[in-house]
Amino acid sequence: MKIRDVEAIYIRSASVKDQCDSGQDALIVRVTTDAGITGIGEVDSSPVAAQGAILGPYSHTLTTGLRHLLIGEDPFRTEYLWDKMYRGNLYSGRFGIGVHAMSGIDIALWDIKGKALQMPIWRLLGGGFHKKIKCYASVLWETTPEKTYARAAQLRDRGFEAVKFGWGPMGQDAENDVRMVAEARQGLGAKADLMIDAGLVWDAKTAIQRARAFAEYNPFWLEEPLMPGDYAGYRKLSNSTDLRIAAGEEESGRETFQRLIVEGDVDVVQVDLTRCGGFTEGMKIASMADSYAKKVANHGFTTYINVAAALHFLNSIPNSIVAEYVAQDHDGNDLRDRITKQRVLARDGYLEMPQEPGLGLELDDDAIAEMRVS
């Protein structure tokens, strides 16, 4: 089997908000083969920049559009092709957009392998740790503590045993920060897991103060309180509290994850399959995390391609802790709900492991054509 083409399709919702709780645009990767099998993947990045990284021409041995490197290759050679793409962009793509673009391609290649062998990707990766995995409802903080209480109670009533609130207004006012957490806990009840996603708002000392103040509300983890490169701050924070510290969604490629794990000493490593380098790199990151006794969760708030990739991944590693699940009420994110023919939905706070070959998803070509920008 040989790769015939690699497409990078930029799609965008008709309406776009300033602070969003799920994907409003996406870069979809489609890899076609001479055997009639097509694989799909997603890149969560700056979509047009990542599109350029894929579709760009050969410039020289250390900077080349990824498509150019893949045409005519055997899609089963995922390890070899990852290395070829990485080496082909050594100064332009070792982190960030270059690795993001590789992620979508790597996911599509594993989708092809699964479809060719009629197996879900988690079986190819040797997994099978879960029949279903607990997921947390991932939402944004409401604007006030009172509204946060109501939202927490509503999500508990929907059957979620774990809920994460994220980003603003956390970080604007010390007293309000604590009230938001207190009301979230009140709304969820004593038993449910409460995750706090601070959204990169503090320095280490402030984060230590907040961790101390939040402790009585028993959060499951405190996520991304610091800027992503502040590995020394993460270590200081992590070593000063018994709250779990979670981070990783800004990282790409195993070298930066290594710094987060070894220098930052965080407890939960959050891996986004559409940014980290795909399955091929994600498995290495999870293995590295496991060797430092760290847990792994997925990150993802975009399409069901991301959610499905995360499930195959979490089902293939021994140190998965919980799955992130964007718990909108299906109130009109037409991009996520329309571009694949299948939805990956939580039931009673759990996500079932996919059983179909490959990722287990097909694109809806009509919806893609309607939302396609370039």
Q: Which residues are near Mg ion by CB under 5 A?
A: 197
Q: How far is the CB of 43 from Mg ion (least distance, A)?
A: 18
Nearer to Mg ion, 134 or 164 (CB): 164
Nearer to Mg ion, 161 or 223 (CB): 223
CA distance 329 to 301: 14
| HEC-encoded secondary structure of 262-288 | HHCCCCEEEECCCCCCHHHHHHHHHHH
Tokens of 127: 């997994």
Q: How far is the CB of 247 from Mg ion (least distance, A)?
A: 8
What length is written for the chain? 374
Sheet holding 3-12, edge to edge: 3-12, 25-33, 38-43
Nearer to Mg ion, 25 or 197 (CB): 197
Which residues touch 297 (CB under 8 Å, ≥6 apart)?
246, 268, 269, 270, 271, 314, 320, 321, 322, 323, 324
Which helix (H) or strand (E) segment holds residue 3: the answer is strand 3-12
Q: How far is the CB of 138 from Mg ion (least distance, A)?
A: 8
Nearer to Mg ion, 268 or 371 (CB): 268
Q: How far is the CB of 139 from Mg ion (least distance, A)?
A: 12
Q: How far is the CB of 214 from Mg ion (least distance, A)?
A: 16
Half-sphere exposure of 288 (CA within 13 A, CB side): 20
Backbone torsion region of residue 194, taken as left when φ is above 0, otherwise alpha when ψ lies between -120 and 50, otherwise beta: beta
Q: How far is the CB of 326 from Mg ion (least distance, A)?
A: 11
Nearer to Mg ion, 224 or 281 (CB): 224
DSSP states along 60-99: ETTEE-HHHHHTTS-TT-HHHHHHHHHHTTTTTSSSTHHH
Which residues touch 326 (CB under 8 Å, ≥6 apart)?
21, 22, 138, 139, 300, 301, 307, 336
Q: How far is the CB of 197 from Mg ion (least distance, A)?
A: 4
Shortest Cβ contact with Mg ion: which residue?
197
Nearer to Mg ion, 197 or 230 (CB): 197
Nearer to Mg ion, 161 or 197 (CB): 197
